[in-house]
C-alpha cells in the first residue's frame, strides 16, 4: 500500500513516522509548498518522491492513499479531489472549514463504499481510552450523572506567539474549540456512547492583537521576544478574532450534564487533555499526559489507579497494546494504532470501521457550528443540528 502525505507542518511528519511502523504500508511521496521543508522531510525518512503541488501528489498513479495534513482551509478541496481520483483518504481534523463542506465530503464518502475515508481523532486509539470505553459500556460506572474535563495548552500565551491557526481566513471562524475542543468532544462521545444534543458556549479572545510571524504548532519560545517581535507591513500588530479559550456547558441525549474548559493560553499546560465521568456507582478519569493510567473512584471502596497491564485489560485495549507493562506507549503509538485500523480495512473491506470516519468529522463540524451559534448569542442554549454517526 503506497501512501502520499500532503502537508509537512507539525502533524504531517508525525503521520509519516507512524505510517512507517504500520505493516504493509510505504510512504512513497510527500508534498509541500515549502521546498526546503519538503527536501528535509524526504531525506530524513528516505521518501523517494516529492511534489511541490498537493494536486500532483493526488494525481500520482503510484499512490493508493492520501493523508491530508495541510491547513484547514485546504482540507475540503484536497479531500474531494483525492476521492474523485479514487484514493483512500485520511484527513486531519477538521474535516472541512464549514459545515456545508463537511456535508459534501461525508456524502461523497457514503457513495464510495469501496474507498476508506478516515479523520484523525487519534486520542480514541490509546489503550486506556479503549479500556475506559469497555468499562463504561459494560455498566461499571452505572448511569452517568456528569461528564466534565478540559483541554488546555499554553503555546499561544504571549502576544508574540503566532501561527496560521490564529487567522480565520486560513483556519476557520473557531480556533481553540475547533482545534482542540473538538478532540475532547469526539473522545467523550466515543467512550460514553452518549452524544451532545444541547449546549451553551462562551468564547473569549484574551489577546486581541498578536505579532504576525510564521511558526509551527507548539513552537513556543522560552521568553517573550524583546519588543514583542516583528510587526506587519503597516507597523502594527494584527487584530485577532478567533478565540483563545472556550467554556461549554452541555447535555447529552441521555440527559447527562457536562462541562468543558478549552484554552490555548493556560501557562504550564502543554497538551493537557483530561476527562472525568461520574456515574451512579463509580467515577472514571483519564489524562492524555499520563496516558497509561486510568483512575477509578468509588464511595464504598478504595479508589484505584489501573495501569496498562495486559492481564487487567479487556480485548479492545489489549489489541492496542504492543509492549509489556512499564514500557510507555503514547501519542505516536495512538497515531499508529489508528492508521493500522485504517489499512486493515483497506485490505479487508468487510471489516466494520474501528476508526473515526468522515461521518465523525461531520459530527465534529456540527458541534463547532453549535458552539459558534451559542457564543454569538451570549451563551444561549442551542440544539446541535444533524445526526450522530
With a cut of 70, say whether residue 234 has pLDDT above it. no
Closest alpha carbon to 246 in 235, 258, 256, 260:
260
Q: Which of 53-62, 208-217, 267-276, 376-385 has the lowest mean pLDDT?
A: 208-217
- 203 with 65, same domain: the answer is no
Q: In sequence order, what are the beta bridge partners of 51?
A: 31
Domain that holds residue 199: 124-347+364-376
Instruction: Give the domain-ending residue among 70, 95, 115.
Output: 115
- 199 with 295, same domain: the answer is yes
Q: In sequence order, what are the beta bridge partners of 50?
A: 30
- Residue by residue, DSSP assigns 342-362 as HHHHHH-TTSPP-S-BHHHHH
- 144 with 87, same domain: the answer is no
Q: Which CATH number goes with the domain that contains 326?
A: 3.30.360.10
Tally of domains within the chain: 2
211 within a domain of the structure (yes/no): yes
- 179 with 111, same domain: the answer is no
Q: Which tens digit of pLDDT belongs to each residue from 305-331? A: 999 998 889 999 999 999 999 999 999
Average pLDDT, the chain: 94
Section 212-241 average pLDDT: 59
- 80 with 196, same domain: the answer is no
Closest alpha carbon to 71 in 25, 118, 32:
32
Q: Which tens digit of pLDDT belongs to each residue from 150-175? A: 999 999 999 999 999 999 999 999 99
382 within a domain of the structure (yes/no): no
237 within a domain of the structure (yes/no): yes
156 and 205 Cβ atoms separated by less than 8 Å: no
Section 327-354 average pLDDT: 97
- 152 with 229, same domain: the answer is yes
* Separation between Cα atoms, residue 385 and residue 322, nearest integer Å: 39
Residue 94 has what DSSP assignment?
A: S
- 106 with 197, same domain: the answer is no
- 229 with 185, same domain: the answer is yes
* Separation between Cα atoms, residue 151 and residue 273, nearest integer Å: 4
371 and 199 Cβ atoms separated by less than 8 Å: yes
96 within a domain of the structure (yes/no): yes
Could you identify the residue written with the cell 453549535?
Answer: 370
% of the chain exceeding 90 in pLDDT:
89
Section 175-198 average pLDDT: 98
* Separation between Cα atoms, residue 250 and residue 158, nearest integer Å: 30
* Contacts for 222 with CB less than 8 Å, ≥ 6 apart: none
With a cut of 60, say whether residue 121 has pLDDT above it. yes
388 within a domain of the structure (yes/no): no
Query: Phi and psi of 181, rounded to 5°?
Result: -60, -35
Q: In sequence order, what are the beta bridge partners of 287?
A: 274
Quote the pLDDT of residue 230.
Answer: 41
* Per-residue cell: 155: 503555546
Q: How far is CA 100 from CA 121, 218, 328, in A?
A: 20, 30, 41
- 31 with 72, same domain: the answer is yes
Question: What are the start-end ranges of the H helices in the chain?
Answer: 11-19, 35-45, 54-59, 72-84, 99-110, 127-137, 168-171, 176, 182-192, 315-319, 331-347, 358-376
Q: In sequence order, what are the beta bridge partners of 26?
A: 2
Q: Which CATH number goes with the domain that contains 27?
A: 3.40.50.720
Instruction: Give the domain-ending residue among 61, 80, 115.
Output: 115
- 164 with 299, same domain: the answer is yes
384 within a domain of the structure (yes/no): no
* Separation between Cα atoms, residue 53 and residue 81, nearest integer Å: 13
* Contacts for 216 with CB less than 8 Å, ≥ 6 apart: 9, 10, 163
* Separation between Cα atoms, residue 213 and residue 173, nearest integer Å: 20
- 180 with 72, same domain: the answer is no
Instruction: Give the domain-ending residue among 115, 146, 168.
Output: 115
With a cut of 70, say whether residue 388 has pLDDT above it. no
- 203 with 308, same domain: the answer is yes
324 within a domain of the structure (yes/no): yes
103 within a domain of the structure (yes/no): yes
Could you identify the residue written with the cell 507539525?
Answer: 10
Could you identify the residue written with the cell 482540507?
Answer: 75
Residue 237: pLDDT band by 50, 70, 90 thresholds?
confident
Amino acid at each position: 500500500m503506497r501512501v502520499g502525505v500532503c502537508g509537512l507542518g507539525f502533524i504531517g511528519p508525525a503521520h509519516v513516522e507512524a505510517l512507517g511502523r504500520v505493516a504493509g504500508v510505504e510512504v512513497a511521496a510527500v508534498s509541500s509548498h515549502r521546498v526546503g521543508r519538503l527536501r528535509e522531510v524526504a531525506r530524513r525518512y528516505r521518501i523517494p518522491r516529492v511534489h511541490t503541488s498537493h494536486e500532483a501528489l493526488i494525481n500520482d498513479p503510484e499512490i493508493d492513499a492520501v493523508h491530508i495534513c495541510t491547513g484547514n482551509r485546504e482540507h475540503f478541496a484536497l479531500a474531494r479531489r483525492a476521492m474523485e481520483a479514487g484514493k483512500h483518504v485520511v484527513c486531519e481534523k477538521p474535516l472541512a472549514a464549514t459545515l456545508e463542506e463537511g456535508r459534501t465530503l461525508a456524502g461523497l464518502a457514503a457513495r464510495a463504499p469501496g474507498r476508506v475515508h478516515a479523520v484523525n481523532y487519534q486520542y480514541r486509539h490509546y489503550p486506556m481510552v479503549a479500556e475506559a470505553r469497555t468499562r463504561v459500556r459494560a455498566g461499571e460506572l452505572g448511569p452517568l450523572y456528569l461528564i466534565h474535563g478540559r483541554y488546555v495548552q499554553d503555546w499561544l500565551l504571549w502576544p508574540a506567539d503566532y501561527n496560521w491557526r490564529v487567522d480565520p481566513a486560513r483556519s476557520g471562524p473557531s480556533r481553540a474549540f475547533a482545534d482542540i475542543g473538538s478532540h475532547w468532544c469526539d473522545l467523550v462521545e466515543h467512550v460514553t456512547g452518549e452524544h451532545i444534543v444541547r449546549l451553551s458556549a462562551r468564547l473569549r479572545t484574551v489577546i486581541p492583537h498578536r505579532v504576525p510571524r510564521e511558526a509551527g504548532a507548539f513552537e513556543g519560545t522560552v521568553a517573550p521576544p524583546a519588543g514583542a517581535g516583528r510587526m506587519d507591513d503597516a507597523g502594527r500588530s494584527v487584530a485577532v478574532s478567533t478565540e483563545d479559550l472556550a467554556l461549554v456547558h452541555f447535555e447529552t441525549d441521555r440527559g447527562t450534564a457536562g462541562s468543558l474548559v478549552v484554552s490555548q493560553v493556560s501557562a504550564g499546560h502543554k497538551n493537557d487533555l483530561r476527562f472525568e465521568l461520574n456515574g451512579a456507582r463509580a467515577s472514571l478519569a483519564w489524562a492524555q499526559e499520563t496516558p497509561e493510567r486510568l483512575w477509578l473512584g468509588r464511595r464504598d471502596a478504595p479508589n484505584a489507579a489501573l495501569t496498562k497491564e495486559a492481564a487487567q485489560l479487556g480485548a479492545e485495549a489489549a489489541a492496542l497494546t504492543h509492549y509489556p507493562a512499564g514500557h510507555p506507549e503514547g501519542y505516536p503509538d495512538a497515531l499508529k494504532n489508528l492508521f493500522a485500523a485504517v489499512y486493515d480495512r483497506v485490505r479487508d473491506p468487510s471489516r466494520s470501521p474501528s476508526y473515526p470516519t468522515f461521518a465523525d468529522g461531520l459530527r465534529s463540524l456540527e458541534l463547532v457550528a453549535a458552539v459558534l451559534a451559542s457564543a454569538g448569542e451570549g451563551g444561549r442554549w442551542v440544539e446541535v443540528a444533524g445526526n450522530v454517526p
